[in-house]
Structure 1
């Protein structure tokens, strides 16, 4: 038996939503609509978890995961005194501190968690899972941390891992050896199918 972990990132509220540190506001109407449209598409799991934030808990509910229970280890990276501040504002007021945080995995100029801290926290949770399937709604920082730990990536790659809104990242393994499953197949019969021109080879 192995552990199969499916990490689901919450939807975003669109490009007009201002990025803020530690943003824990509930999903807006657009985000909720997209999330509800995906309800029923996820497989059953022995454990169904959610990060203990309003956004992730609300996403779990909108996905139809009524049984999801909060897991403290999946909480978002703690931004310390930057919590609630817009990213652009911090970049203007504290450019050196922000640059250090984005380039040095040990740095925590805000007084909260460093990248290395969150990777260690999420890695300990991941390695402590028992065999079976786990579904978890988690913020992008937690998904990045899981990938850095599971694949033994340099922590400097943390910010270079893009986690798309309302996406699923799947890890499987046990005993400290993990595999990443990439390229989940698209549902058949959708209007997103490639046109003949797009499928032609040069």
Structure 2
């Protein structure tokens, strides 16, 4: 039995452009237009899921996907850093930021650690692997990173080394506990 999971990163929003931890702002008009232009590239899938964030829900809608929110695919809970820029956090809490970036178990912001995110998303992936077929989900970039770390058996410290550009599709194909990975295919350039 083969399982296919396609994870689509959401369109750009002001928080990403400003290197700010997501605060629930909407995607930009250019992102909506780009997603709409790529909508007919996506093959049918069941289930179609979405991270419960505003930008993921708006991206899924622009892609024409009738997606169900999946809490296990939520982005990283940034606690009290939510809405702050990376520069602001670095200026106010340089040691905490350095610890958070270096230690996957750290959560100085009071939210969720990278380790906990990887475990949560890994649990979801194990469930998805039990069913044949194709799943499509619009998720935050950190969810794509967590799945990538998990399927490659990479150390959680590799999490920050994975770039996930906006509106890209990453595909994970698994059978018998072994996964193949195709990362970062730009939407709008062929069939996804």
Instruction: Mark yes or no: TM-score above 0.5.
Output: yes
Q: Deviations over 1:177-198 (max 9, x none)?
A: 211125859549xxxxxxxxxx
- Gaps of at least 5 residues in structure 2 are none
1:137 lines up with 2:148 in the alignment: no
Partner of 1:150: 151
Contact preservation (8 Å) 1:127, 1:174: no
In 2, Cα distance between the equivalents of 1:23 and 1:183? 24
In 1, Cα distance between the equivalents of 2:16 and 2:73? 27
1:114 lines up with 2:104 in the alignment: no
- Gaps of at least 5 residues in structure 1 are 189-202
Counterparts in 2 of 1:2-17, with a 5 A limit?
Answer: 2-13=2-13, 17=17
Deviation at 1:64, TM superposition (A): 0.6
Specify whether residues 105 and 2 from structure 1 end up closer, same or farther in structure 2 by C-alpha distance, changes over 3 A only. Answer: same
Deviation at 1:90, TM superposition (A): 0.3
Partner of 1:104: 103
Aligned residue pairs total 187
TM-score, scaled relative to structure 2: 0.91
Instruction: Answer with 1 or 2: which has the greater Rg.
Output: 1
Partner of 1:52: 52
Q: Deviations over 1:126-165 (max 9, x none)?
A: 0111211000000000000000011110100000000011
Counterparts in 2 of 1:1-202, with a 5 A limit?
Answer: 1-13=1-13, 17-65=17-65, 67-129=66-128, 130-182=131-183, 186-187=189-190
In 1, Cα distance between the equivalents of 2:61 and 2:184? 26
In 2, Cα distance between the equivalents of 1:111 and 1:89? 17
Specify whether residues 141 and 182 from structure 1 end up closer, same or farther in structure 2 by C-alpha distance, changes over 3 A only. Answer: closer
Contact preservation (8 Å) 1:127, 1:175: no
In 2, Cα distance between the equivalents of 1:88 and 1:60? 30
